Structure 1
Amino acid sequence: MKAMVLAAGFGTRLKPYSLLRPKPLFPVLDRPLLLRLIEQLGDYGFHPILVNCHHLKEQIVDLLGPREHIYLQQEPIELGTGGGMRLAMDFFGTEPVLVTNGDIFHTIDLAAVYRDHCRSGADATLVLHDHPRFNKIRMNPDGRIVDFAAGGSGSRWAFTGIQVLDPALLAIIPPGVFYNSIDCYRYWMTRGKKICGTIVQGHYWTDMGTPQDYLDLHRTLLTREPFRGESPFYRGREVSVADDFQQKDWLCLGSHIRVGRQCRLERVVVWDGVTVPDGTHLIDTIIS
């Protein structure tokens, strides 16, 4: 089972932090999210795995380096979700491929998603769930997607950023240009292809679209079941804090961090390698 991680985007809503690192390399509990996604795919039996990159791509290349079953697709221009997948057609071959966004943290069973797609006879399956903030997609009773736009009557579902598709669908995308995968699906829907949705439940999911989303993810991991550990205060390797350091509610300190004197941090994520100056008092923010 082949898979692809979409990791080429600019992360515009995460500026200024995404000017320093591509969004899939944002640390989650001091570990780049991309590594978790790759490990998750491997645990469900997906290999080889292709990762595309464009924005700050050198950082992704440096992180992944030569790894067994991991391939990099470096894109010289922004291609969008559809354009990136179109470029990967030779890698995909002819069997269904699972494609996931590189900015989501979730507990969805990816192997079950792939199996359900293969049994369904669909040409593409988008994994959907109920998430009111993003509910836009409408389906027929037989599971076929009929509308991607918000508004109108009937139940709407949110796209998780996970999909399984027949790579042959991508042939209509012009090579080497920016293209949205949803436009590809719209094309095929008008021509009778089965572009379907499958609804998942009982899982955790979030995207890291904004700084607040990123902070909320850490709050969940540090303070809520089933993720939380013994302490809501996470520290990576080689962390040095002054004796009078105060921490409240929850906190994530990455590796190789020094926190100065008379500092107070509350609901803060501090990236690796940072020195927090003396007298710093911060709440609900990211220190990069």
Structure 2
Amino acid sequence: MQTHPSSVMLFAAGFGTRMKALTRDCPKPMIKVAGRPLIDYALDLAREIAPDHIVANLFYKPEQLKAHLAPLGVLLSHETPDILDTGGGLRHALPLLGDAPVFTMNTDVIWSGPNPLKLARDAWDPDQMDALLVCVPLARARGRIGAGDFTADSHGRISRGGDLVYGGVQIVKTTGLLKINKTVFSLNELWNQMHDASRLFALQYPGHWCDVGYPEGIEVAEDLLKSHDV
């Protein structure tokens, strides 16, 4: 079995409720930031690593995303009749992604600095890791509301709580998804398995990052794009 990732999963199915009126007629990944659909920033990063496949999951207002992504060669994983959350959505997309570990990306963030996918690929050690999460120190996580998500020990193994914010990019082995007896579930359930086996790791991102999950985040992201090279 291949032990290194060769495909990228873009999470694009959500309702975008934090965006309020902006997502009434538009899926969140298609909201414009500095004149471009938000998902295009994730696509730029994904293309830089030349993956075998880029896959996006669709549920909320899928027609707009399909029209935008299909001509770009992105494979589409349609969730129906129900949205499946991140864990269920990733498992549903496995026929398109294959059996190897995969990159996953949230599509509502902006990265400023080196490509997080490249950094994760270079740091990936499948002998020790079942997942490697690219995390941002809270001080460099613009638009973040509240505390961080994780703490890392001296070896990079992570536990819940602390000042590291999960940035929405990871490399993850998918075999554990088959052990979860649910249809709709979060990736947190898979991470919990990996944490308990001491195989959940973090890579600290050296640049800046912005959450664009709510309306005010658009201006913050555009300011970041102006002040840093993405």
- Could you tell me the TM-score, scaled by structure 2's length? 0.86
Cα distance between partner residues in 2 of 1:226 and 1:163 = 22
> In the alignment, does 2:158 pair up with 1:145?
yes
Match of 2:78 among 67, 74, 78: 74
1:116 aligned residue: 123
> Is 2:109–2:210's contact at 8 Å kept on the other side of the alignment?
yes
Compare relative contact order (CA 8 Å, sep 6+) and give the higher one, 1 or 2: 2
Does structure 1 residue 64 correspond to structure 2 residue 69?
yes
Shift of 1:226: 4.3
Residue pair 2:29, 2:37 contacting (<8 A) in 1 also: yes
Paired residue for 1:106?
Answer: 111
Distance (whole Å) between structure 1 residues aligned to residue 97 and residue 224 of structure 2: 35
Displacement of 1:174: 3.5
How big is the alpha-carbon RMSD for the aligned residues of Structure 1 and Structure 2? 2.0
Counterpart selection for 1:173 from 174, 180, 199: 180
* Consecutive unaligned residues in structure 1, runs of 5 or more: 228-288
SS state of the match for residue 26, structure 2?
coil
> Shift of residue 189 of structure 1?
2.5
Q: Which amino acid aligns with 1:94?
A: D
SS at match of 2:138: coil
- Whether the aligned pair in 1 keeps the contact of 2:130 and 2:194 (CA below 8 Å) is no
State whether residues 88 and 184 of structure 2, in contact with CA within 8 Å, keep that contact through their aligned partners in structure 1.
yes
Gaps of 5+ in 2: 1-5
1:34 equivalent in structure 2? 39
From 191, 194, 198, the equivalent of 1:188 is 194
Please say if residues 93 and 167 of structure 1, whose CA atoms lie closer than 8 Å, have aligned partners that are also in contact: no
- List aligned pairs for 1:157-236, cutoff 5 A: 157-174=164-181, 177-190=183-196, 192=197, 194-201=199-206, 203-222=207-226, 224-226=227-229
Count residues in correspondence.
216
Distance 1:90 1:226, change over 3 A: closer
In structure 2, how many angstroms separate the alpha carbons of the residues matched to 1:225 and 1:43?
Answer: 18
Amino acid corresponding to residue 78 of structure 2 in structure 1: Q
Give TM-score scaled by structure 1 length: 0.69
Kindly name which structure, 1 or 2, has the bigger radius of gyration based on alpha carbons: 1
In 1: Cα distance, 2:92 partner to 2:229 partner: 39
